[in-house]
Amino acid sequence: MNKTEQMKQIKDEILNLKKSPLYTERIKNKVFPVIGAGDHNAKIMFVGEAPGKNEAQTGQPFCGASGRVLDELLSSINLKREDIYITNIVKDRPTANRDPSEEEIEIYGPFLDRQIEIIQPKIIATLGRYSAEYIMKKFNLDLEIETIGKMRGKSFEVKTSYGAIKIVPLLHPAVALYNSFSRDDLKKDFKILENK
């Protein structure tokens, strides 16, 4: 199977993921899972936490206010959405926009693991503390885990089945919506992804 077919298989499995407590909510609210979007051969893969309301209504990742901030950050390092791949750990929206639960991360995490294997990025940039923690643990960086404020903008090199890659924890773009000072911090942190 090529990469597109493998991604479609993941989508089909998530569409029918009845074991997820979020499946019933999705059906009841007539919304979509958010599988991911972008280049299946991207060098940089962004991983967020879970879809919000706008994302669930459209099935597209980072399409609301956070998405506009993300686009601005990408533009600041001369990247476009079509140059990257972006997804979340949890593919369905947690009720009332709450943080994803451990159970939800456990259910959806294996789909993200497969997406990473399909795309084989050179850099995984995590957006927010949940994705940072999940990815750091996945790549045996448990001892490096600190608060997202201390890890943000750092780069950790790890070995994968397809070669060495970098893990770059970043603040979630939503922080710029609540604190205008954060936008400058985010832009500075994004510089680590420039020219990769």
d(CA 107, CA 94): 13
Residue 181, pLDDT score: 67
pLDDT in tens, 54-113: 999 999 999 988 899 999 999 999 999 999 999 999 999 998 878 899 999 999 999 999
Which domains, and CATH codes, for the chain?
A: 3-193 (3.40.470.10)
Taking residue 27's Cβ as centre, other Cβ atoms within 10 Å add up to: 10
pTM value? 0.95
Q: Which two tokens stand for residue 125?
A: 């940039």
pLDDT tens track for 113-165: 999 999 999 999 999 999 999 999 999 999 999 999 899 999 999 999 999 99
Closest CA to 36 of 51, 26, 23: 51
Task: For residues 10 and 170, give the distance between their C-alpha atoms in angstroms, rounded to a whole number.
Answer: 26
Higher local confidence (pLDDT), 168 or 66 = 168
* pLDDT at res. 67: 92
DSSP assignments along the chain, one per residue: --HHHHHHHHHHHHHT-TTSHHHHHHHHHT------EE-TT-SEEEEES---HHHHHHT-SS-SHHHHHHHHHHHHTT--GGGSEEEESS-SPPGGGPPPPHHHHHHHHHHHHHHHHHH--SEEEEESHHHHHHHHHHTT-GGG---HHHHTT--EEEEETTEEEEEEEE--TTHHHH-THHHHHHHHHHGGGTT-
| Mean pLDDT, residues 12-39 taken together | 95
pLDDT of the residue at 185: 86
Q: How many angstroms separate the Cα of 20 from the Cα of each of 84, 98, 155?
A: 28, 16, 33
Beta partners for 88? 48
